[in-house]
């Protein structure tokens, strides 16, 4: 990287005040615009400590001002260890639209296809003691092919603790339109990974969410073929090798699709990551809908290969990246909500005495609408 356009010293105190922080970010943006005549690409925020103002920074920069930010702590940054700086570099490169990892060959099964899109979806719920905050739904989708390693994201609030994604169809449609703007054509095949649903909710995913997606696509006379897969991490199944390895964990790429799976449905366990510490937890993949006729070998290989394309890591990860990114985006949406609720000035929050009013305010989508400059960028990595 070249030297930055400029350095802007400031105090950590400004982090805790939303209005002051917004003013500061807008000033930085204007100053960059004047000095280089173009858009500010990137802002590195070096912080002296972890601070609750982090959520204000992300909310303002990603929904109001439209700047890509990367935070880091001054202590490890000044130590300058290779691994720390390399990990920071991976995140920065991905946020700027770069590619950190691409498969050397093409993806299994879909390798010869023209246009395929992978979508990940997740819902983040508030803590058990919280009775009013909305749940946050996030959907991400690939926007490049055949590398399939760059994603766009959409995030929306919805009713408290509701697992069904209410605007699933609209969000998928937005991502498909984003894909078609960048690739000059819509994807012909779509693979959707859904996170965080238990077996008791499979009916809801099939009959309500999938129907909603198909309805949204049909409204613009668009009929891609769809495969829908649920990824589950919350289960009590653990896999161990017959001969004790160095860590006692199975090696990455281990699949179990007999004996301990459902007698006649399409599911399997895949351990795709290196278990260096503790006991590896495999991910349970459950295929609910498949219009592509994927064989189990093809699908297992496809998911395992995708696990190598995660942007902030140089090894395969334990969960398929579309779902991993959807988790990160849903968590970012939770930060937005906290920033909105905590960052209201005292005068505006005292006028909203009833909790129902503030709940209604927190459900307003405008607080979660990304700035136009960040809609096609992996700001969440």
Kindly give the confidence (pLDDT) of every residue in the chain, 381 residues in length, as a single tens digit, with 9 standing for 90 and above.
Answer: 788 999 999 999 988 899 999 999 999 999 999 988 888 999 999 999 999 999 999 999 999 999 999 999 999 999 999 999 999 999 999 999 999 999 999 999 998 888 999 999 999 999 999 999 999 999 999 999 999 999 999 999 999 999 999 999 999 999 999 999 999 999 999 999 999 899 999 999 999 999 999 999 999 999 999 999 999 999 999 999 987 667 889 999 999 999 999 999 999 999 999 998 999 999 999 999 999 999 999 999 999 999 999 999 999 999 999 999 999 999 999 999 999 998 775 444 444 444 544 555 556 888 899 999 999 999 999
Same domain, 270 and 145: yes
Task: In whole angstroms, give the CA distance from residue 192 to residue 172.
Answer: 10
Same domain, 127 and 92: no
Q: Residue 164 burial by CB count (10 A; 0-12/13-18/19+): exposed, middle or buried? A: middle
Stated as kind and residue range, the H or E segment containing 215 is helix 211-218
Instruction: For the chain, list the strands marked E by DSSP.
Output: 43-47, 69-73, 116-124, 135-142, 151-158, 189-195, 225-232, 254-256, 267-271, 283-290
Report phi then psi at 87, rounded to 5: -65, -40
Q: Is residue 123 part of a domain?
A: yes
Write down which residue in 328, 351, 367 finishes a domain.
328
Would you call 192 helix, strand, or coil by DSSP? strand
Are 304 and 239 spatial neighbours (Cβ–Cβ below 8 Å)?
Answer: no
Same domain, 270 and 156: yes
**CA dist 231 → 44, 122, 321 (Å):** 34, 10, 11
Q: Is residue 104 part of a domain?
A: no
Same domain, 175 and 142: yes
- Tell me how far apart the terminal alpha carbons of the chain are, to the nearest angstrom: 19
If one counts the domains in the chain, the total is: 2
**Cα dihedral across residues 31, 32, 36, 39: positive or negative:** negative
Kindly provide the b/e burial profile for residues 213-235, where b requires at least 16 CB atoms within 10 angstroms of the residue's own CB. Answer: bbebbeeeeeebebbbbbbbeee
Same domain, 124 and 221: yes
Who's near 125: CB < 8 A, 6+ residues apart?
Answer: 135, 161, 163
Place of tokens 């925020």: 45
Q: Is residue 378 part of a domain?
A: no
Task: In whole angstroms, give the CA distance from residue 276 to residue 288.
Answer: 32
Q: Is residue 359 part of a domain?
A: no
Same domain, 217 and 127: yes
Q: Is residue 67 part of a domain?
A: yes
Stated as kind and residue range, the H or E segment containing 207 is none
Q: CA nearest 291: which of 116, 35, 69, 60? A: 116
Same domain, 295 and 324: yes
Same domain, 55 and 192: no
Same domain, 125 and 230: yes
Provide DSSP, 232-298: E--S------SS--SSSSPPTTEEE-SSSS-SSS-EEEEE-S---SS----EEEEEEEESS---HHH
Domain span including residue 55: 1-96
Q: Is residue 278 part of a domain?
A: yes
Same domain, 42 and 128: no
And the tokens for 206? 């099939």
Whole-structure pTM value: 0.94
And the tokens for 123? 């819902």
Same domain, 21 and 155: no
Task: In whole angstroms, give the CA distance from residue 274 to residue 253.
Answer: 9
Same domain, 230 and 268: yes
The CATH number covering residue 85 comes to 3.40.50.2300
Write down which residue in 328, 354, 372 finishes a domain.
328
Are 73 and 149 spatial neighbours (Cβ–Cβ below 8 Å)?
Answer: no
Q: Is residue 334 part of a domain?
A: no
Q: Is residue 355 part of a domain?
A: no
The CATH number covering residue 255 comes to 3.30.420.10
């Amino acid at each position: 990287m070249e030297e930055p356009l400029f350095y802007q010293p400031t105090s950590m105190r400004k982090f805790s005040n939303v209005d002051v922080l917004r003013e500061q970010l807008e000033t930085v943006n204007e100053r960059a615009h004047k000095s280089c005549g173009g858009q500010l690409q990137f802002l590195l925020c070096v912080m002296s400590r972890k601070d609750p103002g982090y959520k204000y920074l992300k909310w303002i920069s990603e929904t109001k001002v439209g700047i890509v930010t990367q935070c880091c702590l001054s202590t490890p940054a000044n130590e300058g260890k290779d691994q720390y700086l390399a990990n920071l570099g991976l995140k920065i490169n991905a946020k700027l639209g770069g590619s950190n990892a691409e498969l050397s060959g093409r993806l299994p099964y879909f390798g010869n296809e023209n246009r395929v899109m992978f979508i990940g979806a997740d819902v983040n719920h508030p803590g058990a003691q919280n009775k009013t905050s909305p749940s946050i739904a996030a959907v991400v989708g690939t926007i490049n092919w055949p590398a399939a390693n760059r994603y766009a994201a959409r995030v929306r609030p919805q009713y408290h603790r509701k697992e069904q994604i209410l605007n699933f169809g609209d969000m998928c449609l937005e991502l498909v339109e984003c894909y078609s703007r960048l690739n000059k054509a819509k994807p012909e095949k779509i693979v959707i990974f859904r996170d965080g649903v238990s077996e008791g909710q499979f009916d809801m995913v099939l009959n309500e969410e999938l129907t909603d997606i198909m309805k949204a696509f049909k409204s613009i006379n668009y009929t891609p073929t769809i495969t829908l897969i649920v990824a589950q991490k919350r289960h009590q199944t653990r896999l161990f090798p017959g001969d004790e390895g160095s860590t006692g964990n199975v090696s990455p790429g281990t699949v179990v699709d007999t004996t301990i799976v459902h007698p006649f449905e399409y599911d399997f366990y895949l351990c795709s990551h290196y278990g260096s510490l503790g006991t590896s937890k495999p991910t349970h993949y459950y295929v609910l809908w498949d219009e592509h006729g994927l064989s189990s070998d093809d699908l297992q290989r496809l998911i395992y290969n995708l696990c190598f394309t995660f942007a902030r890591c140089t090894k395969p990860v334990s969960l398929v990246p579309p779902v991993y990114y959807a988790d990160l985006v849903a968590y970012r949406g939770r930060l937005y909500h906290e920033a909105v609720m905590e960052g209201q000035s005292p005068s505006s929050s005292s006028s909203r005495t009833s909790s129902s009013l503030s709940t209604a305010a927190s459900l307003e989508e405008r607080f979660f609408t990304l700035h136009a400059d960040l809609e096609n960028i992996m700001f969440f990595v």
